[in-house]
Structure 1
């Protein structure tokens, strides 16, 4: 019988897996994949560690993996990513398909910053103040409950790849957008549309109130006070310092970075945009990249003809993403081989139905 789990709680997998040598881990993972054959697809997010991403059948950012998940017919989908990504895969796949997250402790601190109870309070306060002028938009880095909340209220999901397209759609529906849970992606996307900072307010769930950090006005964009713990640590002084140390270097950052950092960068875009930009650059190009370390290091290895480093070399990789390691991947796969799936991610049917509405609205814009 499958062990269905929606809460983030991972039982220890034991020395039988954590004590294996690197060679034995690789051998047994490969053997399990071969045993499962066409019944198995492994999805890997770009931020995964190299020794895990090596076993992925498909790799990508959130948007790409969401599209792939929607088209898969494999019996088992093992998601090497974080919890909200596995939830999204479950929402987009058939009921008989099983989505597994190798380590349930692989959560997302950003997604955790928007609890459904707090969002409901926020919505009541905002609609009381602004009436029926708001459409909610949630970043894919959010729980299924938040996606469902948005879907029920005419809103939709976005990723960093398509945020501008989603914002254009949303503003065609209503005067204001409530964007959650990442204020930096929201602010940077609003600025790309030419909104002034004074047209953006910030809702703080701790204070249960709106703040106007750039002067009170009539907000077109209301930002939830949340952030990515990795991308927020790329700061303006890092841009100035890297340019001082490496004249001629180009700064390429993710839109989850601070507005002030993005304004100083040479280019800003999603994970797929960053990868594509580096791939298309001529030999000898120098890059300081503001995104997760695993991806930056992989790009440096794959493009030795270019000079690539992290914009801030003193930060750690995404800690929750890195909880997916080979011992947990092997443990998950061998449980599938034994016919006893563990860490199965199931979204409640009613939540899944409305979350699917929000996701489909996004996918229809492609």
Structure 2
């Protein structure tokens, strides 16, 4: 019996743990040093590049080859020589990687990891929305879609955008052209404020996590931390409140920064370089971002505006899920060629505008 136990421990099929499937995700594996070694061994064996979104669990971020926002990661994957992309994020992100790397195998550790924002508009709904303009005899509008959308929605889109270049993308469109902006209403409101564009029509979608970071909560945290800077993601329901606090003098305007995830990292490094004493930053986005910020600028005290702002879909990419993915080659993400080609055009037109790497 003892000999059999020893043999089982050395068996690659059970090394690092036994994976169990639950409704909340795959479990049964502890992210220890043995797990990390096995993940790296399997990645090399499968000729895979491991990508982790900024909102992933810290242990997933730490074992990955690259961590960042979804678009920047997809572009890194397209340039990689690896034949397989393992995207630790939510499903639309893996789809985007497949769109930009059609000849590579793209895996997501748990295909059930969806996105409330991407799910807030379908391709059929977008076609119907466009038809309300053309059916009335008007000129076909220009559709601008956030990269946080499904492949099918991207295929119905004229040009994609990220949170860092959404304003530039909309400004690139002729001023007399109607623009349909989807799916995030808070990012759309930010773009409308910045451009002053009255013919910008905004879809009423939202990320349930960012929408839940509200204005009163932000005001309370800011009042309790009067010296802190604010890093606010434009998807947040509190973005307007943050600008109001700056506008009425409650907070100095220079302390309120509306930033993409990539922009937050840039601002953190810049702030760390300029500070000579203790410094704190209140962060309004998904809490997984704190790991990257603290790694980038450990001398700054980063605190969540809402420490419950955790995306259950992002957290479905567990150590067990990643281990299963690499062991079994699961779950593969496919995008039909015609959908991928049309969606690729929308992404490439965005890249041509410039500054797309700041992602969501």
TM-score scaled by length of structure 1: 0.81
Q: Distance in 2 between matches of 1:231 and 1:171?
A: 31
Question: Could you tell me whether the CA contact under 8 Å between 2:285 and 2:309 is conserved in 1?
Answer: no
TM-score scaled by length of structure 2: 0.83
Q: Distance in 2 between matches of 1:62 and 1:170?
A: 25
CA deviation digits over 1:291-336, x for unaligned, max 9? 11011244246534222211123x241111111111111111112x
Question: Could you tell me whether the CA contact under 8 Å between 1:138 and 1:147 is conserved in 2?
Answer: yes
The Cα shift of 1:344 comes to 1.0
Question: Could you tell me whether the CA contact under 8 Å between 1:171 and 1:177 is conserved in 2?
Answer: no
Extract unaligned runs of 5+ from structure 2: 1-17, 247-255, 355-360
Q: Distance in 2 between matches of 1:301 and 1:54?
A: 10
- The one of 277, 281, 285 equivalent to 1:291 is 285
Structure 1 stretch displaced more, 276-285 or 345-354: 276-285
Question: Could you tell me whether the CA contact under 8 Å between 1:234 and 1:261 is conserved in 2?
Answer: no
Answer yes or no: is 1:328 the counterpart of 2:321: yes
Question: Could you tell me whether the CA contact under 8 Å between 2:53 and 2:88 is conserved in 1?
Answer: yes
Number of paired residues?
317
Question: Could you tell me whether the CA contact under 8 Å between 2:52 and 2:66 is conserved in 1?
Answer: yes
Q: Distance in 2 between matches of 1:262 and 1:193?
A: 18
Question: Could you tell me whether the CA contact under 8 Å between 1:62 and 1:159 is conserved in 2?
Answer: no
- The one of 216, 237, 240 equivalent to 2:216 is 237
DSSP 3-state at the match of 2:241: helix
Q: Distance in 2 between matches of 1:304 and 1:73?
A: 33
Answer yes or no: is 1:182 the counterpart of 2:191: no
Answer yes or no: is 1:122 the counterpart of 2:132: no
- The one of 32, 57, 61 equivalent to 2:42 is 32
Answer yes or no: is 1:76 the counterpart of 2:70: no
Q: Distance in 1 between matches of 2:96 and 2:295?
A: 31
Question: Could you tell me whether the CA contact under 8 Å between 1:255 and 1:262 is conserved in 2?
Answer: no
Aligned counterparts, 1:228-307, within 5 A:
228-258=207-237, 259-263=239-243, 264=245, 266-281=256-271, 282=275, 283-300=277-294, 303-307=297-301
The Cα shift of 1:87 comes to 0.5
Report the counterpart of residue 166 of structure 2 in structure 1: 163
Q: Distance in 1 between matches of 2:291 and 2:42?
A: 28
Taking a change above 3 Å as real, the CA distance of residues 147 and 21 of structure 1, as seen in their structure-2 partners, is: closer
Taking a change above 3 Å as real, the CA distance of residues 94 and 115 of structure 1, as seen in their structure-2 partners, is: closer
CA RMSD of aligned residues (A): 2.0
Q: Distance in 1 between matches of 2:71 and 2:110?
A: 22
The Cα shift of 1:358 comes to 0.6
Q: Distance in 1 between matches of 2:137 and 2:304?
A: 42
Answer yes or no: is 1:131 the counterpart of 2:138: yes
Q: Distance in 2 between matches of 1:236 and 1:316?
A: 14
Aligned counterparts, 1:196-207, within 5 A:
199=198
Q: Distance in 2 between matches of 1:231 and 1:247?
A: 23
Structure 1 segments, 4+ long, off by >6 Å, are none
Q: Distance in 1 between matches of 2:242 and 2:145?
A: 21
